[in-house]
Amino acid sequence: MKISGAESQIMEALWRKGPLTPDGIVDEVGEAHGWAPGTVKTLITRLLRKKAIEGRREAEGYLYRPLLSRTDYVQSESQSLVDRLFDGEVAPLVAHFAEHRALTPKDIQVLKKLISDLEDE
């Protein structure tokens, strides 16, 4: 499932605070991005069509909630990035960040622990 950058803002709001009413979603993302309520509702409609979210009438009114977990979304997007830019290989991705972005001592420590844990498996 492909979710656009704008649609991902709706998803983030739902992962953070969901379930939300249409007005609740507008309040969460509309002003921050300069989006009119109609724009937000269009994005909601797209996500409904993609089955990334569901809407249901409940006692509090009409509520939207994510059907796609943030973990699954991040996994899919990460894999897509690695596949598209680094031929599916993780090491060149890490090397790219190490060369073009200063790694903090904490970053290095976390990477070393990750490698150590992977070697122990």
| CATH number of the domain bearing residue 35 | 1.10.10.10
- In-domain check, residue 79: no
For 112, the token pair is 């070393």
Residue 73 maps to a domain: no
CA atoms within 13 A of residue 81's CA, in its CB half-sphere: 11
Residue 51 and residue 11 share a domain: yes
Q: Tell me if the pTM is above 0.75.
A: yes
Looking at the predicted structure, is the pLDDT value of residue 9 above 90? yes
Give the pLDDT band of residue 5 (cuts 50, 70, 90): very high
| Token pair for 32 | 């921050």
> Which residues span the domain enclosing 14?
5-66
Q: Which of 34, 39, 38, 43 lies closest to 14 in space, CA to CA?
A: 43
Percent of the chain past pLDDT 90, that is, above it, reads 81
User: What pLDDT score was predicted for residue 30?
Assistant: 95
Residue 114 covered by a domain: yes
Q: How many domains does the chain have?
A: 2
| pLDDT tens digits, 22-52 | 999 999 999 999 999 999 999 999 999 999 9
Q: Which of 57, 55, 36, 35 is nearest to 45 (CA)?
A: 55
Q: Are residues 93 and 59 in the same domain?
A: no
